[in-house]
Amino acid sequence: MDTFKMLYTVLGGLGVFFYGMKSMSDALQAVAGDMIRNAINSLTSNRFLAVAVGIVVTMAVQSSSITTVMVVGFVNAGLMQLTQAIGVILGANIGTTITGWIISIKIGKYGLLLIGVGIFPLMFGKNDRWRNIGRILFGIGMIFFGLQIMSGAFKPLRSDPSFHSFLVYFSGQDYGSYIASIGMGCILTMIIQSSSAMLGITMAMATTGVIEFHTAAALVLGENIGTTITALLASVGGNVAAKRAARAHAIFNCLGVLVLFSFFPHYVKFIEWLIPGDSNLLNAAGDKPNIAVHIASGHTIFNVVATLIFIPLLNILAKVVIRITPDAAIKEKNKLVLLGNPQDIVPATALAQAHVEVQKMKELVDKMFLRTRSYLESKSSDARELAKIKDYERITDNIQKEVTVFVGAVMEKALSHHQSHQAQSLVRVADELESVADYLDKLATYKTRFDEANKLEGEARKELFDLMDGVEEFYHHTTRALINPETLDPTGDTKRSEFLRIKAEKIRKNHLNRVGSGEYPALTSLTFSDMVVALRKIRSHCHNITQALERVEES
């Protein structure tokens, strides 16, 4: 047996399999993006609904790791409660079993045909829908072709004496062999960071007759433990809530395996009894045609039964992870954190997460308006109040950078036309809100120029605050569409923006006339003019927000 040839063939087949999984996953995410977002938005305290969402989302993205990392991110950002997150994770474990059923379908010999059929709409499709259909077919074809390559590479192992000697540690029907197989499945899954790929390798080895069904079933149990490492690694940079969600996933999977391990031989016999056909039956080519369905069935039954057992215990599981992961000494703020590889983020849900962060940014700017108005109206200049306004401005700077980096990472994925416009809109709105915060900071800072000799009084003061009222009202009107898109009024906002621009110009001319008559000193005049310009700029940035949101609605 040529060991080197077998190794590079397996690696090549694994690479083709991985690429097929990614192509299919990306296309499914693009097609089902709105459905995924709506499913996440529909989450309530209902644990069964949370499980259903986990199943649906994972079937759509074809990866429980992506779902769990996404859930950890949502908990970290404060968009999901711990009990909701645990429910979604339980559902993700069921949803990921669909991969095993796809792999078990006996159409491996048609892998190249699916690649050939899929490449045409993928390359020459005139719209996103056809291109994504092509990408799905192409991805499925690559999955089957990769499995076929790996299966061919494993065949020489059937007659290799040294491999059979090594396999003794894993193929015996005793608890020592079961532990070894579970451990091997766990370690290999942790290394390649994909339970789906490891499941594919397990099925390829089983189908070619290299391993028995009980060994494959034990490997699959180990893969269920190994897959939890992805979420645990993702939670390292997160807050306490994110760590709790990741640890809940690990505890659930480990306990499920532990319970099943206690009667593992009976579990194997039950699958053999339930599924038609002998799992270890060999055909003329030396392959086992029935074993893949047995493995897929065992994987599904394990996760469904474990979920049914744990659903009533959801609150207890939540209390356990809270106990082993206590609150931090200092209260943490929810924040948007890039967890794991940004390429693994589901576009629809990542954009929804970024949208919520932009809404938080808007709430900060709302507070800045109130504080700036109060500060400008006060007779004295409170240094602490000015410092608070500047703190808000610095926070909006940080959020704007965070959103830009986050959305930029998501935009590297294959997005639908609508998602692309949505991503660009979020970046622009975050930038415009940050600019509004900048000018509010400048407005507050301008007040420090005033003293006993340079005061803003009389008609000028009245006109300035009248303009500020109009600009603030315009700001609230334009940003309301971030919460409720139905309030978007592009035509009306254009008229309001123009009205405020003309009003600002008129106020500026009135003040120049007052300065000409010697009513105000030069410094007061300059400060007033700068304040009017700042308000006019805020008006402009608010109008830009409407234009950015309008583009999304049009797409």
pLDDT digits (tens, 9 = 90+) for 491-543: 999 999 999 999 999 988 887 777 776 666 777 778 888 999 999 999 999 99
- Over range 399-426, report the average pLDDT: 85
How far apart (Å, rounded) are the C-alpha atoms in residues 61 and 23?
10
- Over range 317-329, report the average pLDDT: 80
pLDDT at 76: 67
Two structure tokens written together for 248: 């809940």
Q: What is the DSSP string of 93-144?
A: HHHTHHHHHHHHSS-GGGHHHHHHHHHHHHHH-SSHHHHHHHHHHHHHHHHH
CA distances from 40 to 56, 74, 335 (A): 10, 10, 18
Looking at 128-212, list the stretches that DSSP marks H as alpha helix, in order from N- to C-terminal side: 128-154, 161-171, 175-192, 195-207
How far apart (Å, rounded) are the C-alpha atoms in residues 145 and 123?
20
How far apart (Å, rounded) are the C-alpha atoms in residues 176 and 198?
22
Contact (Cβ atoms closer than 8 angstroms) between residue 200 and residue 146: yes
Single-letter amino acid code for the residue at 32? A
pLDDT (tens digit per residue) in 10-40: 889 888 888 888 888 778 777 766 666 666 6
Please say whether the dihedral angle defined by the alpha carbons of residues 18, 23, 25 and 26, taken in this order, is positive or negative: positive
pLDDT cut 90: percent of the chain above it: 29
* Cβ contacts of 504 within 8 Å, gap of 6 or more: 467, 532, 535, 536, 539
161 or 122: whose pLDDT is higher?
Answer: 122
Residue 395 CB neighbour total at 10 angstroms: 16
How far apart (Å, rounded) are the C-alpha atoms in residues 112 and 409?
32
How far apart (Å, rounded) are the C-alpha atoms in residues 182 and 193?
16
How far apart (Å, rounded) are the C-alpha atoms in residues 549 and 300?
43
How far apart (Å, rounded) are the C-alpha atoms in residues 18 and 14?
6
pLDDT (tens digit per residue) in 343-361: 556 677 778 778 888 998 9
- Cα diameter, the chain: 107
Mean residue pLDDT across the chain? 83
pLDDT at 145: 87
pTM: 0.67
Two structure tokens written together for 533: 């310009």
Instruction: Locate the domains of the chain by residue range.
Output: 3-324, 345-554
pLDDT at 340: 40
How far apart (Å, rounded) are the C-alpha atoms in residues 148 and 168?
26
pLDDT at 33: 65
Scanning the structure block, which residue is given the tokens 């700029």?
537
Burial zone of 228 (CB within 10 Å; 0-12 exposed, 13-18 middle, 19+ buried): buried
pLDDT (tens digit per residue) in 196-208: 888 888 888 888 8
CA distances from 124 to 26, 127, 143, 417 (A): 18, 9, 22, 16
Scanning the structure block, which residue is given the tokens 């001319």?
509
The answer, yes or no, to whether residue 369 has pLDDT greater than 90, is yes
Two structure tokens written together for 20: 């097929």
Name the residue among 362, 373, 368 with its Cα closest to residue 400.
362
Q: How far is CA 427 from the centre of its chain?
A: 17
Contact (Cβ atoms closer than 8 angstroms) between residue 346 and residue 36: yes
pLDDT (tens digit per residue) in 464-475: 899 999 999 999
Two structure tokens written together for 319: 């209390």
Residue 11 CB neighbour total at 10 angstroms: 13
Scanning the structure block, which residue is given the tokens 């308000």?
535
pLDDT cut 70: percent of the chain above it: 88
Could you please state the CATH topology (level 3) that the domain comprising 345-554 is classified under: Methane Monooxygenase Hydroxylase; Chain G, domain 1 (1.20.58)
Scanning the structure block, which residue is given the tokens 């609904």?
49
How far apart (Å, rounded) are the C-alpha atoms in residues 264 and 72?
31
pLDDT (tens digit per residue) in 438-459: 999 999 998 887 765 466 777 8
Specify the DSSP element, H or E, that contains 479: helix 458-483
Q: What φ, ψ does residue 127 adopt, rounded to 5°?
A: -140, 170
CA distances from 457 to 450, 452, 520, 526, 547 (A): 11, 11, 9, 14, 36
